Structure 1
């Protein structure tokens, strides 16, 4: 069970929502079913923190109103801080309506109570759309702007742009950006659009949703805005290379030059196991998002997370050869690992997290110099047959250059691993070891020349707030 990743003690969560810095606190809302570990009864759960380390659970923020426009769920959106209050923009879900209108709720008391607006903010989608949901609102050049995720009638995904001078009256400006070509066999809609500016350049993040059930994933587009439209400078790429990452959301940190991001890591085990456990879903750790001069979008764990490190439990340097793995030492089930590996050009080089006494359960992370990529293999990560298995990759061009060290950071927390390269690429994966033996790390190679390594690891522990979680309150309607 994850210890340092955000999640309520029980039940279902999915998309992070309403990320906002308000009155000295980071606020993280999320899709939440308070009644069970399945996707239903969507509310907005709520955490806040002064430092990204100590988190306080606040009352449920948004609750569906029986008979109302959101009777079947308060779905995804975001929030802004303005004139001492928080305003949440969200998708109002009601069975039988293919679109989810945009509406709002306000909190005057730092998120403890919320009042919904009496009428929908944007009741009808523009003509020519076949999907409509997930508002994202931000302020730019003195005006408020909103993107709404959509699909067009020709099968393209789209982020639709609105503008306002007062957060109340919104004018539709048209598609801000669309996918490049009309879909045919697998139509795609864009969910959860997110937008971040870096000077005169910008990043648009969209969650590509396929109504047939997948494979949904997240893409990032880089470019500039030109006359109210986003002009991409390069083809879109995957934001996260893992199989268990979706619907990320952005937050502009108080520092002007820093963007933070959380994503949803869904379950990779079957529903029956999640019901037995009583919970499903977890948010990733907060990440800092960067945009390099060459247009590459990078991610790294938020700098504050170093404060979660406790005792350094492992410090090992040496050389590993094909004669056998090197035992590096024991680590906890919540651990922060940094490694510098010099790839063997004749084979793979990597780390193995062994989670059973006999070694049959293990998660493999390896560098492939031939393909120029990092590979994560969870095929043997659990002895339980009710989990998804597979091998996943992300680009690592440095692995192709003999003698070039590759730096990586691996944060493992119970059933989730986030693997970062120093280049800013990241891969998120869920795995479910059953072994109760102490976990341990190994260095391994398959090539003839061997590899030099330097590995350090720190136990991670949550920093609990000195305040107890508050009891969920009912939302009052305006």
Structure 2
């Protein structure tokens, strides 16, 4: 097979979901409908800046080939979402796909309303949506001094439908609010599911956040429940998760009560936020996408004409030791087209298994600095060093170490790298993942090195593939 011409913009991901141009942020409403995966996202169709937010829309038969569709949700002049259709989810409401989202008006100060839009009948492609004229929730509950209110997420428990809403309070306490929405047109506040004063939540997530955005809740294969949160203090901080139980409040009260047991970071990288999950019951798994923002200057973004990308789909579950498991969706292996050359292309996959210490180089600067991965199987760690590539966005500049645990696997420590333009997704076994943006500069050489001695070193093995861009689905 002949090699295709390089992608015109080496920073631009070509395998992951992003619009052809302009702005993308939070993934919204992953949804499986009539045999296809649908994924929506925050999108400014006019410029690569966070403003004028619509819902973009793609769909896929296989999580690999994605088709772009017309914009799904558009702000309504004079309506509750006139300043933006912000984050939310999509649910099947008695056979009618329904978007449940945050409406922002011109006067908002972080407090939104909860709005609905329904897909038109017999439109299996979900390309036309009709907004419900009035919000189903016009304001946060009284008496709680809520200063941040957005990002509804609908789930089922105990035979009923419930919703979470991300919140922050005037005293700086983050929380997740709970609503009974068995009837999507009639919502009832059912209490605070969890807040930052919970000692296990504070221990697992830290105390810096003043708001918890984009709450997501899912059940794992062994019956545990996982609450995913995006930590916010006036700007995005990081993401975290809490694992625990979800039970009814009492024999005559079906209101869910979440009891956290453990938790920690969801993604250890600097460039990941606002993940959204799909409880794919037909596939017997939970899928997750996140948003990776730009870590370069706004001038560079505007010259490029695009900003942001969604990560590869990930399968999340609970490991035998109770920790969260995160791996790339297996469908991504279909992208493997040919063995990886030593001169790395703009997109590639790399798989390393080590039983002895090993270091792999991915990028070399003209001054001799390198982006490297150092594997230590005895300690169960992999360290990404990208300190020679400074960034515009805030974040630590030193090496990043991920812990897969001592003796992470009988065959050694495994590391998988998914690189796509400037997007780097690093999986240390199934126990830790990091999303990073690394921008190649003039004079940088994307080359694969292993201590300068080739790709076979005693005690470890390396394999890699260059993908072909997927055809439309």
TM score, norm. by length of structure 2: 0.86
* 1:101 corresponding residue in structure 2: 113
2:258 is equivalent to residue 230 of structure 1:
yes
* 2:280 corresponding residue in structure 1: 253
- Name the CA distance, whole Å, in 2 between partners of 1:185 and 1:311: 47
- Name the CA distance, whole Å, in 1 between partners of 2:106 and 2:403: 42
Question: CA shift at 1:60, angstroms?
Answer: 0.3
1:59-70 map, 5 Å: 59-70=70-81
Question: CA shift at 1:282, angstroms?
Answer: 0.3
1:202-213 map, 5 Å: 202-211=225-234, 213=235
Question: CA shift at 1:404, angstroms?
Answer: 7.2
Question: CA shift at 1:376, angstroms?
Answer: 1.4
Secondary structure class of the residue paired with 1:275: helix
* 1:150 corresponding residue in structure 2: 167
2:59 is equivalent to residue 38 of structure 1:
no
Secondary structure class of the residue paired with 2:447: strand
Question: CA shift at 1:351, angstroms?
Answer: 1.1
Q: Which consecutive residues of structure 2, in runs of 5 or more, have no partner in the other structure? A: 1-11, 250-255
* 1:116 corresponding residue in structure 2: 131
Shift in alpha-carbon separation, 1:404–1:258, aligned structure 2, 3 A: closer
Question: CA shift at 1:400, angstroms?
Answer: 10
- Name the CA distance, whole Å, in 2 between partners of 1:146 and 1:185: 25
User: Are the aligned partners of 2:339 and 2:465 in contact in 1 as well (CA < 8 Å)?
Assistant: yes
Q: 2:350 aligns with which of 321, 337, 351?
A: 337
Question: CA shift at 1:248, angstroms?
Answer: 0.2
User: Are the aligned partners of 2:327 and 2:430 in contact in 1 as well (CA < 8 Å)?
Assistant: no
Shift in alpha-carbon separation, 1:157–1:166, aligned structure 2, 3 A: same
Secondary structure class of the residue paired with 2:50: coil
2:161 is equivalent to residue 139 of structure 1:
no
Secondary structure class of the residue paired with 1:330: coil
* 2:7 corresponding residue in structure 1: none
Secondary structure class of the residue paired with 1:165: strand
Question: CA shift at 1:173, angstroms?
Answer: 1.0
Shift in alpha-carbon separation, 1:186–1:335, aligned structure 2, 3 A: closer
Question: CA shift at 1:203, angstroms?
Answer: 0.3
User: Are the aligned partners of 2:355 and 2:377 in contact in 1 as well (CA < 8 Å)?
Assistant: no
- Name the CA distance, whole Å, in 2 between partners of 1:271 and 1:399: 43
- Name the CA distance, whole Å, in 2 between partners of 1:75 and 1:69: 11
- Name the CA distance, whole Å, in 1 between partners of 2:281 and 2:393: 43
Cα root mean square deviation, aligned: 2.6
* 1:398 corresponding residue in structure 2: 406
User: Are the aligned partners of 2:417 and 2:426 in contact in 1 as well (CA < 8 Å)?
Assistant: yes
Secondary structure class of the residue paired with 1:442: coil
Q: Deviations over 1:3-47 (max 9, x none)?
A: 101101110100000111111110110000001011110000000
Q: 1:280 aligns with which of 307, 313, 326?
A: 307
Q: Count residues in correspondence.
A: 438
Q: 2:419 aligns with which of 380, 401, 412?
A: 412
Question: CA shift at 1:89, angstroms?
Answer: 0.6
- Name the CA distance, whole Å, in 2 between partners of 1:396 and 1:49: 32
Question: CA shift at 1:238, angstroms?
Answer: 0.2
User: Are the aligned partners of 1:79 and 1:87 in contact in 2 as well (CA < 8 Å)?
Assistant: yes
Shift in alpha-carbon separation, 1:152–1:387, aligned structure 2, 3 A: closer
User: Are the aligned partners of 1:343 and 1:404 in contact in 2 as well (CA < 8 Å)?
Assistant: no
- Name the CA distance, whole Å, in 2 between partners of 1:451 and 1:130: 57
Q: Deviations over 1:271-306 (max 9, x none)?
A: 110001000000000000111233211110001101
TM score, norm. by length of structure 1: 0.85
Secondary structure class of the residue paired with 2:303: helix
Q: 1:170 aligns with which of 177, 183, 187?
A: 187
Secondary structure class of the residue paired with 2:302: helix
- Name the CA distance, whole Å, in 2 between partners of 1:256 and 1:338: 25
Larger relative contact order, structure 1 or 2 (CA cutoff 8 Å, min sep 6): 1
Q: Which consecutive residues of structure 1, in runs of 5 or more, have no partner in the other structure? A: 315-328, 467-478
